[in-house]
Structure 1
Amino acid sequence: MSNHIETDAIRTQTERSQFLEHSTPMYLTSSYVFEDAEDMRASFADEKQRNIYSRYSNPNTTEFIDKICKMEGAESGYAFATGMSAVFSTFASLLNAGDHIISSGSIFGSTQTMFKNILPKWKISTDYFKFNQLNTIESLIQPNTKVIYAESPTNPAVDILDLELLGQIAKKHNLLLIIDNCFATPYLQQPIKFGADLVIHSATKLIDGQGRVLGGVTVGKADLIKQIYLFSRNTGSALSPFNAWVLSKSLETLAVRVDKHCENALKVAEFLEANTNVNLVKYPFLKSHPQHALAKKQMKLGGNIIAFEIKGGIEAGRQFINAIKLLSLSANLGDTRTIVTHPASTTHAKLSEEERLEAGITPGLVRVSVGLEHTEDIINDIKQALES
């Protein structure tokens, strides 16, 4: 229909009712009726593609998935109740007992916990590589390795991984490449172009963009999504029709929102870089970012997440957090409201200190999810908190 993400996000509509509404209605139904016995038989025999039960599919969920697929360049997808449900269901559906994962060490804390404490119950093991040492990946490959997994930009240190190189390694060794694209969104980055087989999003973040609903989605190759769908429709991880409707509507404004998020974030990052109370600032589109050139290659803009380290370590970090007046203290991100988080004591607190340092999380590291307030107001609050 279109070669432009912005248009696909607005003009992809699964169906209209007899009322020919301009805006997609909500289909708040748990199940669907059949015309007759043959219709029911054929539908359950998968000879007839139609809605049967909203845990399987729903017009609102289908529309949301279709939009993400077009934006990511994916063949198919399935939507989940949360981002972590998408992560777990994707791995649980594709892996068997005894399989092996190779993962970046710089990943979301709950994903790290899943790899460490949950998947080992089924004898699924994980080895880790550093985000800037992709040359070590091949040495980690075992006969039972099935997946290479990574986030880029990483959470929370906003490091950038070379997606094209990851794609080449995965293809060479016949492994699945799964990328968490939450920080970038389909608007800023499409990992499938670089060789990813599957892309996962926590739609709770920038895709919703207003801190209202939970949701997740996995998109990619149709044969892989079919396995994920069959697993998920029986294990009950489906996205609700209402949340799907909200998220589909949110995609219509994703481009304009993310453009402004990125504009604000770059200004805040530049302010922080010039501040004498700050040791280090990491933002992908700052020229000082170690992977700046790679970020420019892979991403349209730098995203809305900034990581910076305050002089004085963890105590200075706590004082800074306590001095914030306007901005929000929350573990979420991607909201219209700017959010300040101290990862070492919140999102990644369950990791050991060694694991945190491996992921680039120092005691004084602060993550800022830059929102849509006026940039001067964001900067002024951060400035007074740093001075205090």
Structure 2
Amino acid sequence: MSRNNAHPGTDPGKHWRQETLLLHQDAHLATDTSVVAPIHYSATFRADTPEEFAEMANTPRHPGFYSRYGNPVHKRVEAVIAALEGTETALLTASGMGAISTTVLGLVKQGDHVIAQRRHYMSTSKLFEEVLPRFGVASTIVDQTDLDELAAAIRPETRLIMVETPVNPTLTLTDLAAVATLARARGILTIADNTFASPLNQKPHDLGIDIVVHSATKYFGGHHDITAGAVCCSEELAEKIWSMHVTLGSVLSPMDAWLLLRGLRTLSLRMERINANALALAQWLETHPAVERVYYPGLASHPQHELARRQMSGYGAVIAFSLKGGFQAGTRFVSALRLATHAVSLGGVETLAVHTAAMWAGTMTEEQMISAGIEPNFIRMSVGVEHIDDLKADLAQALEPDPAGI
């Protein structure tokens, strides 16, 4: 069966809406009549002639040569994610940090300079502050809310600016369009971690960002059952990053790629409920007497709410809030939850909550936590798709005063 006839009428260039492209954007890549994409669980693929083998071996990102180079199910997932982000292509990795590390290492060399924002995901910060300097790549860390500080940090040898918005875990925002304009005028590449927003809520590439990275473990997978990463960019940049990807070997297994594709099919349905639940819960928490402060870009009280409205169409799953009563109040709260699960990660169907200071106390110094904005009484919650009334009831009972007064 020819590829052209595998899904009659499919046009991958058609301007479908997001809900539709999640289901059909990869259909032109089908090689049989299966409604559901098959899992190509093979590490290596056969060539029928020496000429075909040579073509396979020398084609970057070939989906039918060796699974470290590419796999047919990878191609289908990449087609969907690239369409969501509005980029020419996408590249899958085995984790979100695999996507970030492979991208950065694939684009810099000894003597280069990079800029990162002060508040990043912890492992991203370590890459810039501890790993890159070991290989002769200088890093400058700036306050991402201060464009003048960012501009002042640029050097002639600056090659990359890395941003993340909203930031984990404080939900501080970065002005993507402003950063992109500043960098592009100077020939500097920009990378944005869009994990906390998802492309259904925010499209950094449309705002001028060159490369968009994701922990696909989160919203894309959506069920807390895989780890995966994605890099979205131009074909030219993807080939450079892929070359490093093949060397480092952060390869997503065919089974996890297939689960990721299945998760993507329902992304729009899940995000609609997650966005609604999180906003309603954030508004409710603001009125609760046990809560000191709520951080959520969708709230009018968020200091960057106007920026959120400009660059986001929805505000995502993650709510951060501080409790009255200090560190012990945070510990008691997560221990008292009955419906929400005390676990890391975000973006899945179940609601998860963590006491942030307790989670990172073993890997960050007190100074690093202060710099990251992590207060002792800080809670990070990823809101799921449960009924909002059940979520409110669970949080209400967990926020009740301790009868022992502890």
TM bin, normalised by shorter chain, reads over 0.9
Cα distance change on mapping 1:321 and 1:47 into 2, 3 Å: closer
Q: Hey, what does 2:77 align to over in structure 1? A: 64
TM-score normalised to the size of structure 1? Answer: 0.96
Tell me, which stretches of 5 or more residues in structure 1 are unaligned? none
Conserved? CA contact 2:62–2:69, under 8 Å: no
Cα distance change on mapping 1:278 and 1:72 into 2, 3 Å: same
TM-score normalised to the size of structure 2? Answer: 0.92
Conserved? CA contact 1:331–1:347, under 8 Å: no
Residue 380 of structure 2 is aligned to residue 367 of structure 1:
yes
Q: Hey, what does 1:232 align to over in structure 2? A: 245
Residue 393 of structure 2 is aligned to residue 380 of structure 1:
yes
Q: Hey, what does 1:353 align to over in structure 2? A: 366
2:157 pairs with one of 144, 160, 163: 144
Aligned-partner residue type, residue 145 of structure 1: T
Q: Hey, what does 2:323 align to over in structure 1? A: 310
1:168 pairs with one of 168, 174, 181: 181
What SS is found at the alignment partner of 1:188? coil
Q: Hey, what does 2:278 align to over in structure 1? A: 265
Q: Hey, what does 1:220 align to over in structure 2? A: 233
Report how many aligned residue pairs link the two structures. Answer: 387
Cα distance change on mapping 1:347 and 1:190 into 2, 3 Å: farther
Q: What is the CA deviation profile of residues 159-207 of structure 1, one whole-angstrom value per residue up to 9, with x for unaligned ones? A: 2211110111111221111000001111111100111110000000111
Residue 113 of structure 2 is aligned to residue 93 of structure 1:
no
Q: 1:131: Cα distance to partner? A: 3.0
What SS is found at the alignment partner of 2:376? coil
2:357 pairs with one of 326, 344, 365: 344
Q: Hey, what does 2:42 align to over in structure 1? A: 29
Q: Hey, what does 1:285 align to over in structure 2? A: 298
Q: Hey, what does 1:153 align to over in structure 2? A: 166
Q: 1:302: Cα distance to partner? A: 1.1
Instruction: Provide the C-alpha distance between the structure 1 equivalents of 2:88 and 2:228, rounded to a whole number of angstroms.
Output: 20
Q: What is the CA deviation profile of residues 211-254 of structure 1, one whole-angstrom value per residue up to 9, with x for unaligned ones? A: 01110010112221110111112321121111111111211110
Instruction: Provide the C-alpha distance between the structure 2 equivalents of 1:314 and 1:47, rounded to a whole number of angstroms.
Output: 51
Conserved? CA contact 1:336–1:372, under 8 Å: yes
Cα distance change on mapping 1:348 and 1:134 into 2, 3 Å: farther
Q: What is the CA deviation profile of residues 250-292 of structure 1, one whole-angstrom value per residue up to 9, with x for unaligned ones? A: 1111011011001110111011100111111011111111111
Q: Hey, what does 1:4 align to over in structure 2? A: 17
Q: Hey, what does 2:30 align to over in structure 1? A: 16
What SS is found at the alignment partner of 2:275? helix
Aligned-partner residue type, residue 29 of structure 2: E
Instruction: Provide the C-alpha distance between the structure 2 equivalents of 1:47 and 1:260, rounded to a whole number of angstroms.
Output: 39
Q: What is the CA deviation profile of residues 353-377 of structure 1, one whole-angstrom value per residue up to 9, with x for unaligned ones? A: 2332222221211100001111111
Aligned-partner residue type, residue 91 of structure 1: V
Q: Hey, what does 1:46 align to over in structure 2? A: 59
Conserved? CA contact 2:63–2:69, under 8 Å: no
What SS is found at the alignment partner of 2:399? helix
1:111 pairs with one of 119, 124, 138: 124
2:345 pairs with one of 329, 332, 348: 332
Instruction: Provide the C-alpha distance between the structure 2 equivalents of 1:327 and 1:155, rounded to a whole number of angstroms.
Output: 19
Residue 308 of structure 2 is aligned to residue 295 of structure 1:
yes
Cα distance change on mapping 1:353 and 1:134 into 2, 3 Å: farther
Q: Percent same amino acid at aligned positions?
A: 33
Instruction: Provide the C-alpha distance between the structure 1 equivalents of 2:366 and 2:182, rounded to a whole number of angstroms.
Output: 30
The answer to which of 260-269 and 47-56 deviates more is 47-56
What SS is found at the alignment partner of 1:346? helix
The answer to which of 281-290 and 38-47 deviates more is 38-47
Aligned-partner residue type, residue 16 of structure 1: A
Conserved? CA contact 1:344–1:361, under 8 Å: yes
State the 4+ residue runs in structure 1 displaced beyond 4 angstroms.
47-50
Instruction: Provide the C-alpha distance between the structure 2 equivalents of 1:180 and 1:196, rounded to a whole number of angstroms.
Output: 10
* Root mean square deviation of aligned Cα: 1.7
1:205 pairs with one of 218, 235, 238: 218
Instruction: Provide the C-alpha distance between the structure 2 equivalents of 1:318 and 1:243, rounded to a whole number of angstroms.
Output: 34
What SS is found at the alignment partner of 1:187? coil
Instruction: Provide the C-alpha distance between the structure 1 equivalents of 2:169 and 2:200, rounded to a whole number of angstroms.
Output: 20
Instruction: Provide the C-alpha distance between the structure 2 equivalents of 1:176 and 1:95, rounded to a whole number of angstroms.
Output: 11
Q: Hey, what does 1:177 align to over in structure 2? A: 190
Conserved? CA contact 1:109–1:350, under 8 Å: no
Conserved? CA contact 2:354–2:379, under 8 Å: yes
Aligned-partner residue type, residue 26 of structure 1: I
Q: Hey, what does 1:241 align to over in structure 2? A: 254
Q: Hey, what does 2:199 align to over in structure 1? A: 186
Cα distance change on mapping 1:50 and 1:385 into 2, 3 Å: closer
Conserved? CA contact 2:165–2:194, under 8 Å: yes
Tell me, which stretches of 5 or more residues in structure 2 are unaligned? 1-13, 402-406
Aligned-partner residue type, residue 76 of structure 2: E
Q: Hey, what does 2:11 align to over in structure 1? A: none
Instruction: Provide the C-alpha distance between the structure 2 equivalents of 1:297 and 1:383, rounded to a whole number of angstroms.
Output: 33
Conserved? CA contact 2:60–2:239, under 8 Å: no
Q: Which structure carries more relative contact order (alpha carbon 8 Å, separation 6+)?
A: 1
What SS is found at the alignment partner of 1:177? strand
Q: 1:346: Cα distance to partner? A: 1.5
